Structure 1
Amino acid sequence: MAAALMVLDPATLTVAFVLLSAVLGTLLIFSWILSPGVSALAWWGSAFLLIGIAIASANLGQGQPSLLVLVTANALGMLAYGVLYGGCRIFNGRSAPIAGSLAGVVIWTCAFPFIYDSQGYRLMLASLLTGGYAMLSAWELGRHQVERLASQRVVVVLVLGLALFNFSRGMLGFSWVSVPWIAAFARRWSSEMALFLVIFTPTLAFMFLSMAKERLKFEYKQAALVDPLTSVPNRRAFLQNAAKLLGQLGDKPASCLLFDLDNFKAINDSYGHDAGDRILTVFGQVLAGHLPKRTFGRLGGEEFAAVLPMSAHEAAALADKIRHAFSAAGKAALGGQAEVTVSAGCATGARIEATALLQKADSALYRAKRSGRNIVIAA
């Protein structure tokens, strides 16, 4: 029994929480050093360190903390939540809200002279600010997520729970609760509060690390499926997407468009490889502007392809539209110094594999090249 009481002693749990926050914050920052592309880890790690410092400064001293210590410790707590929110924004590729992260500190510092003698009002304001930041963090991760990550959905639930916990504490500031373990959360610090944070904090830190790992895995997968020069799907991704589309269509017709930039070697020789790369990028942009996502890709060199759920006539008309658009965009990219054209072959079929459809389109493209280039020929 004595050992159990020792474990639940507020001072013991406070030390445990402060050490745990320091370890977790350092771990997150170290993970950022190893993976600098996920800079949100540095923000989250800083938030864990700040909350640990805030709790330590307010609760590890002798006797009741002074008003200066209270205002400083709570300001650090507000800053920790603000930094946590900033990390969530950065994780989604949005700007760092420096002013927003500091807003809680400013509000708390300005309001403290008017509420310093009321523990209830201090609790309500601190809970509203921290709960607000937690709610904004959950909104940011849920509403503005770049891609669907399983761990990110878990973090949204955890941070929403943190917001609810803080808002509930704020309500205790002006209501009387007779249940001892609930009333304990209305105090500035208690064993129940420390125990909750000792359990919750590592869970949240673990899920932040899981989010970062899942993001890196997603980016590596994307890098393996995207052409680095033109930012369109590469051959592997195109064939995967085409096979999936053809399987979904069943007996309905699908058309394959195969494009090959005309006289591309001459462009490289006359204007340099940088100009050639620019022309390839321009054509990728033209395709992206005319075709749905995951229907086209770069097969290699100056050859691009697309598979679309449409008839031969519709596909040929679309290819001709792309041909005209690229001619204008390519000429503008070279400053109007040269004619930039593309030839296209079109093949249509139903219940056919992607490679077989691509071979038919290649035959039509060969005819287009032999017929003088800058034309569209259907198989």
Structure 2
Amino acid sequence: MPDPLTVASGICAVGALFSSWQMGRRAVRAEAEIAHLQAALAAERHAASHDPLTGLPNRRAFYRLAATLLTDAAGRPLVAVVADLDDFKQINDRYGHAAGDQVLISVAERLAAFAGDNLVARLGGDEFAGLLATPTVDRRWIDHATRRLCETLAAPIPLGTLTLRVTASVGLAPVHGPAQLTEALDRADAAMYQAKGLTARRPTREIADAPRLAEC
């Protein structure tokens, strides 16, 4: 006949093992729930600070990130960039909003590629902005960068059976200090609208399957 003390001891051991197993499962579930909540929080923060269509930072995030960059610039020259698509409404009207969305995505990708590790954002609609670290901020560099950016954005965009050419008006202005971002963006915006006025007076040209849009 088994010793009652031995039986009781065995039962206690089994109970302890089962309790330990249950605690382990609860710990695993708790860790999984924490990881899920952290991922959900990160996704929520990303959605709050990024444009849902292009994935670029939105207006609010742009100003926050730009303020940090300006504070940490350590004397590096910085240039504010503003870009606005020309006659973008024509694309939505003629080809539909899905085509317009694809154009915005393509433009965002080109801006991001042009900027590299620098900050670019979609401020809203067809308006984009950036903050570029540069080797210099003289007029020659700004003119060259403006021309290259215009050429980058004006490259044909494949869209199903269509090929669209969407030009942009671009303005650049140096930022002279952490407190001068708004002023620099205003100057870049003024340069952009000056360019848009010049573009509007140029003759338009239609390429294969493209809407009639003014060139940059």
User: What TM-score comes out, normalization by structure 1 length?
Assistant: 0.46
Q: Residue 347 of structure 1 is aligned with which of 150, 157, 173?
A: 173
Q: Look up the SS of the partner of 1:370 in the other structure.
A: helix
2:101 matches 1:277:
yes
Q: Kindly tell me: are residues 333 and 314 of structure 1, through their superposed partners in 2, closer, same or farther at Cα, counting changes over 3 Å?
A: farther
Q: Kindly tell me: are residues 250 and 273 of structure 1, through their superposed partners in 2, closer, same or farther at Cα, counting changes over 3 Å?
A: same
Tell me the CA shift for residue 287 of structure 1. Answer: 1.3
Report the counterpart of residue 323 of structure 1 in structure 2: 150
Which is higher, the Rg of structure 1 or of structure 2? 1
Q: Look up the SS of the partner of 1:320 in the other structure.
A: helix
Q: Look up the SS of the partner of 1:230 in the other structure.
A: coil
Q: Do 1:252 and 1:350's aligned partners in 2 also have CA atoms closer than 8 Å?
A: no
**Amino acid of the structure 1 residue aligned with 2:131:** V
**Amino acid of the structure 1 residue aligned with 2:104:** L
Output aligned runs, 1:349-368, within 5 Å: 349-351=175-177, 352-368=179-195
Q: Do 2:156 and 2:164's aligned partners in 1 also have CA atoms closer than 8 Å?
A: no
Tell me the CA shift for residue 262 of structure 1. Answer: 0.5
**Amino acid of the structure 1 residue aligned with 2:12:** D
| Alpha-carbon displacement from aligned partner over 1:224-278 (angstroms, at most 9, x marks no partner) | 1111111111111111111111111254321011000000011111111111111
**Amino acid of the structure 1 residue aligned with 2:13:** P
Report the counterpart of residue 228 of structure 1 in structure 2: 52
Output aligned runs, 1:181-260, within 5 Å: 198=23, 200-260=24-84
Q: Kindly tell me: are residues 14 and 249 of structure 1, through their superposed partners in 2, closer, same or farther at Cα, counting changes over 3 Å?
A: closer
Tell me the CA shift for residue 349 of structure 1. Answer: 2.6
Greater helix percent: which structure?
A: 1
**Amino acid of the structure 2 residue aligned with 1:16:** S
2:136 matches 1:309:
no
Gaps of 5+ in 2: 201-214
Q: Look up the SS of the partner of 1:258 in the other structure.
A: strand
Gaps of 5+ in 1: 21-197
Q: In structure 2, how many angstroms separate the alpha carbons of the residues matched to 1:251 and 1:350?
A: 10
Q: Look up the SS of the partner of 1:265 in the other structure.
A: helix
- Runs of 4+ residues deviating >4 angstroms: 5-8, 334-338
Question: Across the two proteins, how many residue pairs are aligned to each other?
Answer: 192
Q: Do 2:150 and 2:167's aligned partners in 1 also have CA atoms closer than 8 Å?
A: yes
Q: In structure 2, how many angstroms separate the alpha carbons of the residues matched to 1:267 and 1:249?
A: 39
Q: In structure 2, how many angstroms separate the alpha carbons of the residues matched to 1:336 and 1:240?
A: 38
Q: Do 1:243 and 1:353's aligned partners in 2 also have CA atoms closer than 8 Å?
A: no
Q: Do 2:80 and 2:132's aligned partners in 1 also have CA atoms closer than 8 Å?
A: yes
**Amino acid of the structure 1 residue aligned with 2:149:** I
**Amino acid of the structure 2 residue aligned with 1:299:** L
Q: Look up the SS of the partner of 2:170 in the other structure.
A: strand
2:196 matches 1:369:
yes
Q: Do 1:308 and 1:315's aligned partners in 2 also have CA atoms closer than 8 Å?
A: no
Q: Residue 264 of structure 1 is aligned with which of 88, 99, 107?
A: 88
Output aligned runs, 1:85-234, within 5 Å: 198=23, 200-234=24-58
Tell me the CA shift for residue 285 of structure 1. Answer: 1.0
Quote the RMSD (CA, aligned, Å). Answer: 2.6
Q: Do 2:118 and 2:132's aligned partners in 1 also have CA atoms closer than 8 Å?
A: no
Q: Look up the SS of the partner of 1:249 in the other structure.
A: coil
Q: In structure 2, how many angstroms separate the alpha carbons of the residues matched to 1:358 and 1:217?
A: 32
Q: Kindly tell me: are residues 268 and 14 of structure 1, through their superposed partners in 2, closer, same or farther at Cα, counting changes over 3 Å?
A: same
Q: Kindly tell me: are residues 333 and 316 of structure 1, through their superposed partners in 2, closer, same or farther at Cα, counting changes over 3 Å?
A: farther
Tell me the CA shift for residue 319 of structure 1. Answer: 3.6
